[in-house]
Chain A
Amino acid sequence: MSDPAPTPDTPTDADRDELRRQGILLTSMEELYNWGRSRSVWPLNFGLACCAIEMMAASMARFDIARFGSEVFRPSPRQADLIIISGTVTKKMAPQVVRLWNQMPEPKYCIAMGACAISGGPFKQGYNVLKGIDRYIPVDIYIPGCPPRPEALLHGLMQLQEKIRGQRLTGPTAPPHLQKDTTCDYPVPAFGAHDLEPPKNPALWQPPVLVRKEGA
């Protein structure tokens, strides 16, 4: 996020520092709004598998997610800002995850924690394993690891905070809750005879095109 080009009326950072030293805080609406939002992200109390234990460890005394403002893990999706998909998403669980995502009010963010949530992980060959939660819901931050250490989760949370701070309030890059014509309701897959139907949400996820070098 870059500041607009300084004009004679716009204070520079040096001016702001000087004013801050004198006890006057000068900020813009956008900075204040994003600062408040990013410094108190409340996660949903949602753990699927092994990564959930590392998420709990991150919220305990040694790693202490509370200093990042995320101490309050909400049990209800209606009150949460962030869903940390920690653990393997199975096809049986996938509709519930999408329903939880739909129930979360905007602004909402998603962190895919661990290899299983990103792509199916070590259990990728499986009839019941969803190969990545980003097939159905949009993911903001991916944290690799199996399981990622609590420090990695905190690093991912800090990246999310930077991402939130970088969101403009107006314009095409505004977050979805400030745009008038976006939907926050994602279609819930149904249980089919052999697989989920649909197996992925094509509007959300297309397999990336891999260009392989000759001789690789």
Chain B
Amino acid sequence: MSFSDPSPLESAPGPKVRAVRDEFHGDLLEVSMGPHHPSTHGVFRMNVTLDGETVVRLKPVFGYLHRNHEKIGENASYLGSMPYTDRLDYLCSMTNNWAYALAVERLSGQAVPERAEYLRVILAELTRLLNHTCLAGFLLQDCGASGTPLMYAFREREKILDLFESLSGSRMMCNFQRFGGCRTDATPAWLEAARALADGYGAFLDEFEELLTGNEILMARTQGIGRLPAKLAVSAGVTGPMLRAAGVGYDLRKVDGYGVYPRFDFRIPLGDNGDTYDRYMVRVLEMRESIKILRQAFATIPQGPVMDAKARLRGFRAKPGEVYSRIEGPKGEIGFFLVSEGGPNPYRYRVRPPSFINLTVLEDLCVGHSIADTVVILGSIDIVLGEVDR
């Protein structure tokens, strides 16, 4: 696999359409898709060079949502950065919080009580359900099913958001994890409501799959489109369902075994072809595995505190040192690299964004397909611009 053509297209502002004369193909058309486009998942721009309708070259342009999260992280205290992690991948705030809390806990050697670990797993799996459901809705929206699967997806998302709101106070920006546990405890009523949701989710997935999985339009639009070879996926740092759809069995919940995941029995679905349909199916199967994990977690969650007694939030100072820690977020491996000089602020605060690195292969996937497929491929990579640009 060769690298992208080193002659860059200028990322000049504004939409630009001009013809580029090439002696073999006649005119190539250069189109700027984005940053305002109904099919890009946020403000993301792709400079696409087309030969007719076939994509010849594709250069992504980032930075339209670059909100200097890492600079703010250097100026804010450790706990002060927690609300900002909500706003990275703004669909999945609970897993972002956990990734950051885990990094700080590893940096300072902080222990976490068992009930908090179970609660974190429950919230992470609920977030995974939410994320994959929304992805299925957005992918179908990009395929042209304008709105109907998205309506069903958001209906289920609202039920999960009700749970998050009653637990943490906010629908999306939960800011729930702390260094040493969770902010508040879940009441038995909440656990009962969450258990009922998890039990009923299987029926929703059946309904969703009946509409979509064997749907010949979806299969015609996604099978064979955007094939990702496993070797390229590993070299390009692709993680998450996209890597597993390419056939590589690498899931951090099994490999690193963080939290209490080793206690649960669940499988990792793998794809055969690495195309868009596989990426969709892997996510649907992961949702079913998430329901299994949730059932086990609800059955075995112990009583106890959710915050470690020795945890110190105000005036928290980490010991000097560095740490890189990662978890399996719904989009891939989300990691935090923290460098501490012993003060109340981190010296360097870095987020490893899964969506950004998954986009490394966007050009390889799209070249040779038509421009309509570009939108579908981008939808299947599952990006959120808050994480791509930070």
Contact = CB atoms under 8 A, between A and B. Distances in A.
> Direct A–B touching in the complex (beta carbon < 8 Å)?
yes
Interface of A: 45-50, 52-54, 56-57, 60-62, 75, 87-88, 90, 92-93, 95-96, 99-100, 122-123, 125-129, 146-147, 149, 190-191
A145 to B, nearest CB: 10
Given A49-B67, A88-B67, A122-B87, 20 more contacts: A45-B38, A50-B90, A50-B172, A54-B172, A56-B154, A57-B154, A57-B158, A60-B150, A60-B151, A60-B158, A75-B38, A92-B63, A99-B14, A122-B83, A123-B67, A123-B68, A123-B69, A125-B75, A128-B66, A190-B13
A93 B38 CA distance: 16
B79 to A, nearest CB: 14
A146 B90 CA distance: 11
Given A92-B63, A122-B84, A127 B90 contact: no
A54 B171 CA distance: 10
A56 B150 CA distance: 10
B158 A50 contact: no
B91 interface: yes
Interface of B: 13-14, 35-38, 42-43, 63-69, 71-72, 75, 83-84, 87, 90-91, 150-151, 154-155, 157-158, 171-173, 385-386
Contacts of B151: 60-61
A199 to B, nearest CB: 16
B173 A149 contact: no
A122 B83 CA distance: 9
Contacts of B65: 48-49, 87-88, 90, 93
13 contacts: A47-B42, A49-B67, A50-B173, A61-B154, A75-B37, A88-B65, A96-B13, A96-B64, A123-B69, A125-B71, A126-B67, A149-B171, A191-B13
A96 to B, nearest CB: 6
A73 to B, nearest CB: 8
Contacts of A127: 68, 71
A60 B43 CA distance: 21
A95 B35 CA distance: 11
Nearest to A129: B67
A127 B75 CA distance: 13
Contacts, number: 96
Contacts of A93: 35, 43, 64-65
Nearest to B66: A128
A62 B158 contact: yes
Given A123-B67, A129-B67, A53 B90 contact: yes
Contacts of B38: 45, 75
Contacts of B13: 95-96, 190-191
Contacts of B35: 93, 96
A115 to B, nearest CB: 11
B149 to A, nearest CB: 12
A61 B63 contact: no
Nearest to B389: A90
B25 to A, nearest CB: 30
Nearest to B159: A62
A100 B34 CA distance: 12
B172 A126 contact: no
Contact of A46 (B36, B68, B91, B155): B36
Contacts of B84: 122
A99 B16 CA distance: 13
A167 to B, nearest CB: 28
Closest 8 CB pairs of A and B: A50-B90, A60-B154, A75-B38, A126-B68, A123-B67, A93-B64, A128-B66, A45-B38
Contacts of B157: 57
